[in-house]
Structures are given as structure tokens and as C-alpha cells.
Structure 1
């Protein structure tokens, strides 16, 4: 258990690091920062040799980003003795939804065991608990326990033997000065060869990454162009569908009007089909326009009065232009006739609306019968 003072200091550090804004803000989702803080506090509380820090992490594609890490040692019991294995646990941008990245961090006098079942030559740790990481049940405390257990079964580090001191040159009889034996020469050549091989491998990997990145950029541009074309087609299809729906609605309205007029015509034909045979020879033509319905009579009367007033106003207008009718009398009569004509037209509109409602009700009743 870490001392309360240290825990308070770590708590303040995490709160400050996770609440920063602007360019120096850590690249974690806002909704997961409370989980990250609690996971690190639980880890430090259980493993006091680990300390949370912020450092720069370089991805394989060359991107560098400032992340949180837990740096320190993990206890490793081996053959009855407890050893401390230096590790660095990086919390990547997608943590805790994705597992952290764990590296063994050997000191100068330590060498990574080759081959190792869980640690690569670069120090990267691979464990089943990392591959099977499940949010939110997986956490850093369980990870540290798995690391300790895995390292106990197969220690990843061993101490590098220090070379013996170089012997001093000595005189040999008949041979002058002998050449000093330096066991480091072979080791130095091997180190140079290994360094050159690593540099060559890094250069090849970098070239491969550049080629892969270029290919992915070309592929991404093609996909973006295809996406733009699909979006444009989607917009055209939506506009066409909208026009078709509007046209369909207009046609349905016209069909209703045609059906209404057809029904009205059929009704009129049925009602007047036998009247032509019963007409008298001396039948007055004006009687053919006599309305039998109250609304129709009212409509005919309003229309006749409206047209009559229209004719009177026309005659008064001509009389005024010819100088027969004075101007004040012309204005007074036009005002009175216009008011009367307005009431006749308003009445006709109301009668027409009532007739239309009656026709619609009649058609609906027939359709449901």
C-alpha cells in the first residue's frame, strides 16, 4: 500500500494531467478519463514500485504523441527469490477500450532473453490477457498480476556478464612485447555488426512503411472520390423521388376531381334521361334553366344579380364618359352598387362551398355503401 502522501501527490498529478485543455491536452476521450485515473490509482496503490508519468510515445508510422505511462518495476518471484523486472506500461489513445502497450525496459547490465515466449527482442510484451482485453472488466492491476506470473514462469531478463579486466602487457623472452589480449574486440565487432543490421532493418521497415502509406493514401483518395459520387447520386435520387411524390399527389387530386365530376354528370344524366320524351312541343326554353333545389336557386339568383349590377356599372361608365351622368352622382351610384355586388358574390361563394361539401358527402356515402 502506497503512503497517503504519495497517493495524494499522484492523485493531484493525474487530475492536472487529465484536465488540461488546448494543444497540451492528452488525447483521451473525455468520457474515459475518470476510468483512466481510477485504473492508475488502483495500480499504484497495489504496486508501489510503479509511478504514473507523461512521456512521448512514437507509433510505428512515425507519429509522436504525449501519453500516460506507468514506469517502474514488477515483482517476479523466481526460485524462492523476488526480483524486480523494469517495465513501462503505455496507455494508448484508445485506452481503456483497447489494451495498453507493455514494454520490458532493461537497464545497461541486463539483456532480454532470446527467444522468449512473451517478450520480443525489442521488449514488447505479448500476453493472452492483452489479446483478450475486454472493456470495462479488464484493468491494470490484473495486468500487473499476469505480468508477474508470466515472468516467474519464464524470466525475460538476465544480467550481462562484466568482461574481466584486461591483462597488462608483459615482456616475453625472445619475442619482445606481446600483444595485449582484449576480449572486448570480438564483442565490439559483434555489437557493430548487430547495430548495422538493426539500422538496415529499420531502414527497410521505414521504406516499406512509406510505400504502404503511399498506397493507402491513393486508395483513400479513390474511396473519398467514390463516396462523393455516391453522395451526389443519393441526392439526385432523393430529389427525383420527391418530384415523383409531388406528381403523384397532384395526379391523385386531379383523379378525385375527375371522379367527382363524373359522378355528378352520371347523376344528372340519370335524373334527366326520361325528360326529353315528355317535353311538349310549345315548351319554353327558359323553363329548362329553372332550378328545383334551394341552393341552386340561390346560386342562380346571386349570379344573375351580380351580372346585372356589372351591366349597370358598365352603362353608367359609358354615360359618365359621354358627359350625360355627373361625376358625384356616378361615384355615389358606383359605391352603392359595388357594395351590393360584393354581398351577392360573397353569398355565391358560400353557396358554392356548401354544394361542394354536399357532393363530397354524397360520393363518400356511395363509396361506403
Structure 2
């Protein structure tokens, strides 16, 4: 159910809060991050232009789609030939508002017609003024749009009255349109709001209140016509200059964005290379500590064994030349020796079987027993190796302050 249109500022606030907070199928098709901005735009518009009231109505797109949208329905005041008139308009807030401009229509009654060949209003009533064409989010807003509509329509009114008889009860600066709700419709390939029934004669610059014969464009004052054409020409020139300036600036911005993206890519490459160099430096420092530690161990060994070779090399016991420094090293040496010895025995057994010196069943029994022994020695060697690695890391951590640079 669509809420009834508001009649004062407090009611407008409540109305907007109600329609913009709806969820589900009845929710308005605006993104959540823009609903607050839409509310503020409409409240500012109704404050500066009380004749424009926010409503919800059905809008029909060119492709036939219908959607429930917010609109500002009412009149905008203009001054033409020193007389104030009210031009009925409808400002539709499309789904992508405020990132894209609203859709504005003049809304003539049955006693009014749209001026032919108007520079900013097509025969369907669609308004296309420079402010809409140059809409820039977030600086553009509905208040400035309403002022621009009053200014542009004041120079060249888009509506004419079809009434030929004056109405003495009509005053030109009075609004001729009720603000009751209605829904929009489509016709002739253009999305159009429906026409409402006026209660008073329409305020037209070419009606009885303007002092000019209705529908007679030829009777306009020549100076006013010339002035209007010159102003329109100036507006078109300024609009063209603004479009060219905007395209130039957009091209420059694209170039800057491309340069920025290139610099960001190079920054990522430099950071990646710097990280790799730091990791490599840390690895080299760790390797340097290991080399220094091993160098110290070898130098100590050389100092201890340097005098053993002088004068007694023929009496050196090869088996006792190298001594294990700890229990783990001795156990690793024994396990490794047994493992290699078993490899040699298995190789010799294979040769014996191939030459026929040993029965095959005896060969299998020996290999089974040797393999079991080799497995246990290899498992013991793996555990000893893990213990030695842990001890080496602990020793490096203890010696690290000595080799720190």
C-alpha cells in the first residue's frame, strides 16, 4: 500500500522515512547506501520549493518495465514578461539516483500544450537542460535543479494555454494544479507521467493573465524573441564548451589513472624484490654462522692433532685416528658402519648365489636376517641424526651472539 502524499514538513519527514525503510517486495529500488542522501535531497527541495511534494508512483521505462519510484510533483515558478507563472513538472528519481540525474517532465493539463521545437523539452514533455546533461555526483542536487528549471523556463516557457477566453478570477502567480497522487504511464515510446485534471485555468505565459493572444507565437515582442534566441545560443555555446572541457579533463584523468596503476605495479615489484633480498640475506647470515662455527671446530681439531704426525706416522692406528666427541656421534658411527657392512655382505651373497656356491633357500634366510638388522640400525641412525640436529641448533643459538655483525 502506497502512503498518502505529505502536506507539511513533519509529514514529509515521516513519509520519506516510511517509504525508504520498507523491505521486501514493496521496497523502493534504491541502494541502501544512497537512501539517506535521497531523503536529504527531497527534504531540502521541499524546504526551498514547497510547491514540489515527494510521492511514490509507478514509472514506465521505454522497454515497458514498470517500477515504483519516488517523485517530486508540483510546480516551479517562472517570471516571463514581468509576470510570475507556475510550470507543472514531475521530477522522477530513477533507480540509480543520485549517481545519475533524475528524469524530469513537464506535466501539461488538458488545457495546455507543449511548445513545438522547444530547445530543452521534447514533444513527450521530457526535459533535457544542460544541468541534467552535466549532472555530477555528489555535487548536483534537486534544489539547484529546480532553480535551473525556473531560470531556463523563464527565458523560454515550454507550455502554451489553449484557452481563448479570459478568466477574471485567475491570478497568474497562483498554481493551477492539485498535488494529488497519480501513477506514471508510457506512451509513444517515451515514459510519461499521466495528466492530472486542474481545478483552475492553467498558468501559461500565453493565456489571459499574460496579456498576449493565446497560441500566437507571431505576436511576441520582437525584442523578447531576439533576446531569447541570443540567450539560447549562448547557452548552447557554453554547453558545448563545457562538454569539450569535460572530455579533455576526463582524458587527462584517464592518463593519470593509468600512470597511477603503472606506479602501483612497479611499487609491488620493488617490494617483492626487497622482501626476497631480505630473506636471502637472512639465509646467508645463518649460513655464515654455521660456517664460522664449523671453522672453529676444525681449527680446534687441527691444533689438537697437529703434533701427532711428527716423527711417528708409521705407528698411526687408522681405526683410532678419528675419535667421536660424544655418545651420539659414536652411536651414529657404529650404526653407519654396520649398515654399510651389511650392504657389502648382501652384495657378496648375491654373487655367491649367481655362481652356485650357495643354495637359494639359505641365501633367502641370510638376507632376511641381515635386512632385519639393517632396518634396526637405520632406524637408530635416523633417531640419532634428529638428536644431533637438535643439539646443533641449540649450539648455534648459544654461539650466535659471538658472530653477530
**TM-score bucket of the superposed structures, by smaller chain:** 0.5 to 0.7
Conserved in 1, the CA contact under 8 Å of 2:41 and 2:143?
A: no
Q: Decide which of 322, 335, 349 is 2:368's aligned counterpart.
A: 335
> Do the aligned partners of residues 325 and 356 (structure 1) sit closer, same or farther apart at CA in structure 2, a change above 3 Å counting?
same
After TM superposition, give the deviation of residue 15 of structure 1 in Å: 4.6
After TM superposition, give the deviation of residue 339 of structure 1 in Å: 1.9
| TM-score normalised by the chain length of structure 2 | 0.52
List gaps (5 residues or longer) in structure 1: 57-65, 75-82, 112-159, 166-183
- Does 2:54 match 1:52? yes
Q: Decide which of 121, 124, 143 is 1:101's aligned counterpart.
A: 143
Q: Decide which of 23, 30, 33 is 2:32's aligned counterpart.
A: 30
> Do the aligned partners of residues 163 and 367 (structure 1) sit closer, same or farther apart at CA in structure 2, a change above 3 Å counting?
closer
Structure 2 CA distance for aligned equivalents of residues 259 and 214 of structure 1: 67
Three-state SS of the structure 2 residue aligned to 1:30 is coil
After TM superposition, give the deviation of residue 98 of structure 1 in Å: 7.9
Tell me whether 293-302 or 282-291 shows the greater mean CA deviation: 282-291
Structure 2 CA distance for aligned equivalents of residues 21 and 212 of structure 1: 44
1:118-148 Cα deviation digits (max 9, x unpaired): xxxxxxxxxxxxxxxxxxxxxxxxxxxxxxx
Question: Which position in structure 2 is the counterpart of 1:248?
Answer: 281
> Do the aligned partners of residues 307 and 236 (structure 1) sit closer, same or farther apart at CA in structure 2, a change above 3 Å counting?
same
Conserved in 2, the CA contact under 8 Å of 1:306 and 1:341?
A: yes
Radius of gyration: which is bigger?
1
> Do the aligned partners of residues 302 and 25 (structure 1) sit closer, same or farther apart at CA in structure 2, a change above 3 Å counting?
same
> Do the aligned partners of residues 17 and 71 (structure 1) sit closer, same or farther apart at CA in structure 2, a change above 3 Å counting?
farther
- Could you say which structure has the greater relative contact order, defined with CA pairs below 8 angstroms and 6 or more residues apart? 2
Three-state SS of the structure 2 residue aligned to 1:52 is strand
Three-state SS of the structure 1 residue aligned to 2:315 is coil
1:175-218 Cα deviation digits (max 9, x unpaired): xxxxxxxxx99961012111211221122023212311331242
List gaps (5 residues or longer) in structure 2: 60-68, 78-83, 100-136, 156-207
More helix by share: 1
Three-state SS of the structure 1 residue aligned to 2:321 is helix
> Do the aligned partners of residues 366 and 239 (structure 1) sit closer, same or farther apart at CA in structure 2, a change above 3 Å counting?
closer
Tell me whether 306-315 or 267-276 shows the greater mean CA deviation: 267-276
Question: Which position in structure 2 is the counterpart of 1:313?
Answer: 346
> Do the aligned partners of residues 20 and 283 (structure 1) sit closer, same or farther apart at CA in structure 2, a change above 3 Å counting?
closer
Q: Number of paired residues? A: 281
Structure 1 CA distance for aligned equivalents of residues 212 and 236 of structure 2: 36
Structure 1 CA distance for aligned equivalents of residues 90 and 244 of structure 2: 30
After TM superposition, give the deviation of residue 320 of structure 1 in Å: 2.0
Structure 2 CA distance for aligned equivalents of residues 322 and 212 of structure 1: 99
Conserved in 1, the CA contact under 8 Å of 2:339 and 2:377?
A: yes
Structure 2 CA distance for aligned equivalents of residues 21 and 335 of structure 1: 78
> Do the aligned partners of residues 30 and 290 (structure 1) sit closer, same or farther apart at CA in structure 2, a change above 3 Å counting?
closer
| TM-score normalised by the chain length of structure 1 | 0.56
Tell me whether 13-22 or 323-332 shows the greater mean CA deviation: 13-22
1:63-107 Cα deviation digits (max 9, x unpaired): xxx875475699xxxxxxxx9999999897279998752445769
> Do the aligned partners of residues 357 and 274 (structure 1) sit closer, same or farther apart at CA in structure 2, a change above 3 Å counting?
farther
Name the Cα RMSD after superposition.
Answer: 5.1
Structure 1 CA distance for aligned equivalents of residues 49 and 230 of structure 2: 38
Structure 1 CA distance for aligned equivalents of residues 37 and 284 of structure 2: 61
Structure 2 CA distance for aligned equivalents of residues 268 and 262 of structure 1: 10
